Structure 1
Amino acid sequence: MLFGKEHVDRYLATDGEEGHDWQGTMCLLLTTTGAKSGEPRIAPLIYEPYGDAYLVVASKGGAPKPPAWYVNLRENPGVEVQIKGEKFRATARDATPEEKPDMWKVMTKAWPDYDSYQAKTDRQIPVVVLERA
């Protein structure tokens, strides 16, 4: 099973032929700019298309603090997305309170564990909307 850096490396080397399909879901690569370092940071994330946008969830398995990639995009919402061999610039934003219930349903259908992650933490886990720039 691919995870972390190995997942990113295989995805990049094969244009997603290895790494896009993961444990019954789909993964994209999200490149953010490090909030402190200014360096590019790549994270493999479960995603779902949503209209013209793509959704990802900043769950970190229900940890009390959000994942580093989420902290980075809060500082700089300009990101790069790779889905299989396609790379594009996007702007990341949190789902609005009105959007989130439907978007959460879409994401928990793809990865039901998101509900248990939310139950483990007091932090409201964000659904992040990636819109092409």
Structure 2
Amino acid sequence: MHHQKEYNKTIIAEFRANGGRTKDFAATPLPLLTTIGARSGQPRITPLAYTTDGDRFVLIASDKGSPNHPGWYHNLLAHPVVTIEIGHEHFQARAVIPEEPERTRLYKQMSDQMSAFAEYQQLTNRKIPVVTLEPLSSRA
């Protein structure tokens, strides 16, 4: 877990230095998601892969197929208004957890673009949640 935190710090620094691009995720657009800690109340920054659906961003709470939902997912359940940093843009969005059949459609859309997400679902018994982020204001 500690290793993942250090890795995320490196990705965040690289992202900010290169206008949103990182070498490990050159082909994958990688936004930084800032959530408010469910227990701590402190901001938490997580780099995440995403796809889009209309003007919404689609995230998958896979945690690489681990048995538990990732911390950022618990955070946005507690505090659904988040900040997204993408390239040189910053904006706030509201997290919404889509119901079926939309959840399956959006999960398939992500796994069609990034096959690792299909594998993550096979690694765990939990139903991996999908999250949509709906921008709250015009993106600047």
Determine which of 27, 30, 33 is the counterpart of 1:27: 30
Instruction: Tell me which stretches of 4 or more aligned residues in structure 1 moved more than 3 Å.
Output: none
1:98 CA drift (Å)? 2.1
For residues 87-109 of structure 1, what are the alpha-carbon distances to aligned partners after superposition, in whole Å with 9 as ceiling and x for unaligned?
A: 10000111211211221121002
Q: Does 1:94 align with 2:65?
A: no
Under a length normalisation based on structure 2, what TM-score does the superposition of the two structures give? Answer: 0.86
* Contact 1:25-1:110 within 8 A present in 2 as well: no
Q: Does 1:41 align with 2:6?
A: no
Aligned pair in 2 of structure 1 residues 23, 14: CA closer, same or farther (>3 Å)? closer
Taking the aligned partners of 1:38 and 1:9, their CA distance within structure 2 comes to 23
For residues 111-132 of structure 1, what are the alpha-carbon distances to aligned partners after superposition, in whole Å with 9 as ceiling and x for unaligned?
A: 1111111111111101110001
Determine which of 75, 82, 85 is the counterpart of 2:88: 85
1:21 CA drift (Å)? 7.7
* Contact 1:59-1:114 within 8 A present in 2 as well: yes
Number of residue equivalences? 131
Taking the aligned partners of 1:100 and 1:35, their CA distance within structure 2 comes to 23
Q: Does 1:58 align with 2:61?
A: yes
Taking the aligned partners of 1:21 and 1:55, their CA distance within structure 2 comes to 20
Taking the aligned partners of 1:45 and 1:117, their CA distance within structure 2 comes to 15
Name stretches of at least 5 consecutive residues in structure 2 with no aligned partner. Answer: 1-6
Under a length normalisation based on structure 1, what TM-score does the superposition of the two structures give? Answer: 0.91
Between the two proteins, what is the percent identity of the paired residues? 38
- What is the CA RMSD across the aligned residues, in angstroms? 1.8
